[in-house]
Amino acid sequence: MSQRRRSPVITGTGLICAAGCGVSSVWKSLQTNHSGLRPLTLFSSPRFSGHLVGQVAEEVAALAGKIRGSRSDQLAWIAAREALAAAGFAGGWGKVAPTRVGVMLGATVGGMLGAETFLAALLREHKRRFGPLRFHECAGAADLCARQMGARGPVATLSTACSAGAMALFAAAELIVQGEADVVLAGAGDSLSRLTLNGFGSLLLLDPHGCRPFDARRAGISLGEGAAMLVLEDEATARARGATILARLAGWGASCDAFHATAPQPEGRGALAAMQRALAGAALRPQEIDFVSTHGTATPDNDAMEAAALKRLFGAAVPPFSSVKRFFGHTLAASGAIKAVLAVQSLRAQAVPGTPGFEVADDKIGLAPVREFRPLALSRILSNSFGFGGNNVALVFEKFDSEAIPHQEPPASHPILRQPAAKGWAILGAGVVSPAGHSLAEIAAAFRAGGAPVADFKVPALFPDAQAKVYACGEFGAERFLDPARRRNLSRLQQMTLVATRAALSPQMVAATRPEQICVVIGTGLGSLANTAAFVENLILKDERAPRPALFASSVHNSLAAQVAIEQGCAGLNSTPVQREITFETALWQAATELRTGRAELALAGAADELQQYPLAAGLRWGWWNELSPAIRPFANALAKPARPLPGEGCAVFTLGPAETAAQPLGFVSAIRLGRSQTLHAEAEARWIIETLEREHIAAGEVDLLLTGANGLREPDDFDQAVAAACSRQAGRTILCHGYKHGCGEHYSASAFGFLTAIGLVRGDIPAERPVRTVVLWTRSPSGTKGMCCIRG
């Protein structure tokens, strides 16, 4: 097979924000230096009513057509539709196979606006209107776009706060370079919400006068909303179908400050590292960058540290730079994606936007941004995005010369440095907090006893007398492992994650590895729900008086991975997948990618979710479960809809590394893959699983057991067994089929517990009908997304 180097190019862009709807409309605002900030009208805010925000002027729901979803989802789809049409995919995929089409989005707000409406009705009027909770998840936009597009390649959502859009582009580029997809829709959308407005307010990070990036008087951000999408495509695919190539994504770099929950490291160490890695990946020197699109939020800390990092990187020759934040506000996850679209536009137009809001230079910064739109000869633009928790991403966009001969040689950019050893990546450590116990031995004992115990869970705010049956974690030793000062501002889910991580990652492993070579990818379906709910309840009950910053800081999805990085000093990529049932598989894929590229020597992969009364109450209301619901018995309950499996919670974290470095690994993981099915077809699923194994030279006949998310619901359980039967036929031997949810309950991070179950099976700790050496963990979501991996002893 020829090793033609794969390189991501951009063939379509779409954009909606306060500065306009559509790329050309926004560009016109930039050309005329026209800011789209205006007073908030989307919802009433007693505290911030006079503030300027970047609210989208158009009627979003109407623009989105018949699409149902949160405002964030609708914004994302509006931008995606424009990008797909621009790339020539409005009428279908043509020569591109849908299985080669992926979706990789960023999101942080998701359906929070709807959840706030639900809580306001509940707490003020005692009305139980659960409808908006159906669109709460951050994964909504990616699922929606994938469904609309008919994408059947990898689909995932990442939530690294304000760098999420850039992180999505980073991951999309990897999907293309590693050959997992030929076309990827990448970007992000986030709506305004009371949570984020009051959250940033509680951190004293909102400037009532509107943001003033790099200005001496700057006092914070203006919050905004919007979405931007890019069609990323392998250069060869784009050329073969005669697409117009707009620009190249030449470099991408990520780092973690490992410093503070919400404040950046003051000298910009993490920011500098991300920029250096983006340049190194593209084999570029600093002087080859012509322009920097800064994160430039206009908080006192961000702009000072970003300027310091620019000076460290470029010395006396800092290229022209600007911040576009005053045009449309800080759009959180969407920010990095919007800047990517604008960078592409700049490279095409050979012109750069200015920095409205900047008037008075800051002597302490010693640098001044480009003030107004102006022409500039551009070959490459560096675009920075920094998120809470020190989640930094830098991207390099390059002008595309259509006359140039396509690359013949593998380019310097982000080469795949190594393949896993014969059996895969070594699993060096595991940590777990689960309803079945907090160690593999306890869990094995629970499985021998038929599963974890079922507990009662009260839902006081909604149904005073009602109880739901659940799988709960109980005490997990937070008091023993974490001192009170450390625990004070941490959510229960953060504490769970830190406790699990301490079991997975030994001090010796950390000591033997350079901090920047330890990456942390810990996903969560819903984040620290208890803290998030408490923050919003407080807003509603007290009319936004005295919002609580500690609750807000821990409500951010990536606060789990960020706290792990802070505690363990991990300065490599830090990311937080939020893709419903395949949250953990996405974490595993991203962690393995960092190992494959040699950017990480140790990679943490994990997932965590917790029980909370509102989703439980919604399930009670919708008739999914009640006090009489039975415990989960995979393949044996035969429950019919609308009954649902009992909810659970838990966290599992694993340390992965190259096999050479492992003394006595717990096992090995390989054949990690994400995908999506449009319809349920057992033979096709079995083919997908076996094809994935064969790509990594694992014969189907080696597989002993298929481990699935079977949960006692008749139809999906029957389907899982049909897939196992089809795998058996294709492999020519009987492959066992097991579940694990009787140990952890139903939750978005359950498959992380499944991964530990697989380790227990191949080690012989957890018994099966016959000795098991090779397990395939296969997880699918009702939305169609799926993920798999192979675990061997």
Partner 1 sequence: METLIEELKTKIIAGFNLEGVTPGDINPDAPIFGSGLELDSIDALELVAILEQDYGIVILERSVADKAFTSLRILAEFINANRT
Per CB under 8 A, the list member of 270, 329, 420, 547 interacting with partner 1 is 547
Catalytic residue of the set 295, 438, 738, 747: 295
Q: Which of these ranges, 284-292, 465-473, 483-491, 571-579, lies near partner 1 under the rule CB under 8 A?
A: 483-491
262 contacts partner 1 (rule: CB under 8 A): yes
Site string for partner 1, 733-762 (x = CB under 8 A): ------------------------------
In angstroms, give the least distance from the CB of 563 to partner 1: 12
Give me the least distance between CB of 299 and partner 1, in Å please: 9
> At its nearest, how many Å lie between partner 1 and the CB of residue 18?
22
**Please, which residues have CB within 8 angstroms of residue 573's CB and are 6 or more apart in sequence?**
254, 255, 256, 519, 520, 521, 590, 594, 599, 600
Contact 441, 448 (CB under 8 A): no
Backbone phi, psi, residue 653, to 5°: -130, 140
447's CB contacts (< 8 A; 6+ apart) are: 436, 742, 743, 757, 760, 766, 767
* CB of 538 vs partner 1, minimal distance in Å: 9
Q: Smallest gap, in angstroms, from Cβ of residue 556 to partner 1?
A: 12
Taking CB under 8 A as the criterion, the residue among 377, 546, 640, 663 binding partner 1 is 546
Contact segment (CB under 8 A) with partner 1 among 19-27, 256-264, 447-455, 639-647 equals: 256-264
For the chain, give percent helix, strand, coil, nearest 5. Answer: 35, 20, 40
Nearest CA to 194 out of 547, 617, 615 is that of 547
SS3 assignment for 12-51: EEEEEECCEECHHHHHHHHHCCCCCCEECCCCCCCCCCCC
3-state secondary structure of 566: helix
Minimal distance, residue 478 CB to partner 1, in Å: 13
Q: 3-class secondary structure for 485-548?
A: HHHCCCCHHHHHHHHHHHHHCCHHHHHCCCHHHEEEEEECCCCCHHHHHHHHHHHHHCCCCCCC
Q: Is 80 helix (H, G, I), strand (E, B) or coil?
A: helix
291-310 positions binding partner 1, by CB under 8 A? 300
For residue 393, give the nearest of 554, 575, 230 by alpha carbon.
575
Choose the binding region for partner 1 from 233-241, 276-284, 349-357, 541-549 (rule: CB under 8 A). 541-549
Based on the shown chain and the rule CB under 8 A, indicate whether residue 206 belongs to the binding site for partner 1.
Answer: yes
Q: Which of 147, 311, 407, 548 binds partner 1 (CB under 8 A)?
A: 548
330 as an active site residue: the answer is yes
Residue 50's φ and ψ, nearest 5 degrees, are -85, -5
Q: What is the side-by-side strand order in the sheet with 650-657?
A: 574-575, 518-523, 602-609, 650-657, 425-433, 667-676, 785-792, 774-780, 705-708, 736-739
Structure tokens at 253: 């770099």
Q: Is residue 216 part of the contact set for partner 1 (CB under 8 A)? A: no
| Binding status of residue 484 toward partner 1 by CB under 8 A | yes
Is residue 357 within the footprint of partner 1 (CB under 8 A)? no
User: Under rule CB under 8 A, which residues in 651-690 are in contact with partner 1?
Assistant: none
CB-wise, 187 or 300, nearer to partner 1?
300
Of 4, 38, 147, 260, which one interacts with partner 1 (CB under 8 A)? 260
CA angle 299, 302, 304 (to 5 degrees): 100
Tell me whether residue 51 or residue 248 sits nearer to partner 1 (CB atom): 51
Site membership for partner 1, residue 97 (CB under 8 A): no
- Residue closer to partner 1 (CB basis): 61 or 204: 204
Q: Within 571-612, where are the H helices?
A: 583-596
Among 1, 485, 511, 628, binds partner 1 (CB under 8 A): 485
Is residue 295 among the annotated active site residues? yes
Residue among 166 and 203 whose Cβ is closer to partner 1: 203
C-alpha to C-alpha distance for 210 and 285, rounded to whole angstroms: 36
The footprint of partner 1 on this chain (CB under 8 A) covers a number of residues equal to: 25
Q: Which of 202, 383, 574, 708 binds partner 1 (CB under 8 A)?
A: 202
Q: How far is the CB of 46 from partner 1 (least distance, A)?
A: 11
Distance CA 161, CA 148 (A): 26
- In the complex, the smallest distance separating the C-beta of residue 488 from partner 1, rounded to whole angstroms, is 5
Alpha helices in 330-383 (DSSP H): 333-349
Smallest gap from Cβ 689 to partner 1, in A, equals 45
Taking CB under 8 A as the rule, does residue 333 contact partner 1? no
Of 84-92, 195-203, 244-252, 494-502, the segment contacting partner 1 by CB under 8 A is 195-203
Q: Which residues on neighbouring strands pair with residue 784, listed in sequence order?
A: none
When asked if residue 697 is in the footprint of partner 1 (CB under 8 A), the reply is no
Residue 279 tokens read as: 């340049």
Tokens, residue 372: 């107004």
Query: Residue 787 corresponds to which tokens in the numbers above?
Result: 């993920």
Q: Which two tokens stand for residue 575?
A: 């990311």
| Residue bearing tokens 């490599």 | 572
Does residue 549 bind partner 1 (CB under 8 A)?
Answer: yes
Task: Using the rule CB under 8 A, give the single segment among 59-67, 547-555, 661-669, 726-734 that binds partner 1.
Answer: 547-555
* 311 binding partner 1? (CB under 8 A): no
Among 90, 97, 204, 638, binds partner 1 (CB under 8 A): 204
Stretch that binds partner 1, among 107-115, 198-206, 702-710, 744-752 (CB under 8 A): 198-206
The residue (of 456 and 543) whose beta carbon lies closer to partner 1 is 543
Name, in order, each residue with C-beta under 8 angstroms of 505's C-beta and a sequence gap of 6 or more.
Answer: 429, 431, 568, 602, 604, 653, 655
Options 102, 106, 187, 201; binder of partner 1; rule CB under 8 A = 201
In the complex, the smallest distance separating the C-beta of residue 116 from partner 1, rounded to whole angstroms, is 19
- Binding test (CB under 8 A) with partner 1, winner from 64, 203, 273, 395: 203
Largest CA-CA distance found in the chain, in angstroms, rounded? 74
Active-site choice (162, 570, 737, 744): 162
Find the shortest distance in angstroms from Cβ 546 to partner 1: 4
Q: Which of the 8 DSSP states describes residue 639?
A: B
Give dist(CA 746, CA 744) in Å, integer: 7
Of residues 167-186, which lie at the interface with partner 1 (CB under 8 A)?
A: none
The answer to whether the beta carbons of residues 16 and 75 sit under 8 Å apart is yes
Q: Counting contacts by CB under 8 A, is residue 318 touching partner 1?
A: no
Binding window for partner 1 (CB under 8 A); candidates: 316-324, 404-412, 542-550, 617-625: 542-550
Q: Which is nearer to partner 1, 220 or 716 (CB)?
A: 220
| Binding of partner 1 by 263 (CB under 8 A) | yes
Distance, CA of 522 to CA of 605 (rounded, Å): 6
Taking a C-beta distance cutoff of 8 angstroms, is the pair 213, 303 a contact? yes
Q: Rounded to whole angstroms, how far apart are CA atoms 427 and 669? A: 7
Rounded to the nearest 10°, the torsion over CA 623, 629, 631, 634 is -50
Q: Alpha carbon of 31 to those of 196, 356, 706: distances in Å?
A: 29, 11, 57
Residue of the chain from 66, 95, 488, 697 that contacts partner 1 (CB under 8 A): 488
Stretch of 250-258, 414-422, 480-488, 521-529 contacting partner 1, by CB under 8 A: 480-488
Residue whose structure tokens are 């409005």: 90
Residue 404, interface with partner 1 (CB under 8 A)?
no
Catalytic residue status for 126: no
Catalytic residue (one of 136, 330, 414, 438): 330
Could you give phi then psi for residue 674, rounded to 5 degrees? -110, 150
Nearer to partner 1, 128 or 260 (CB): 260
Kindly list the catalytic residues.
Answer: 162, 295, 330
List contacts with partner 1 (CB under 8 A). Answer: 201-206, 208, 219-220, 260-263, 300, 484-485, 488-489, 545-550, 553
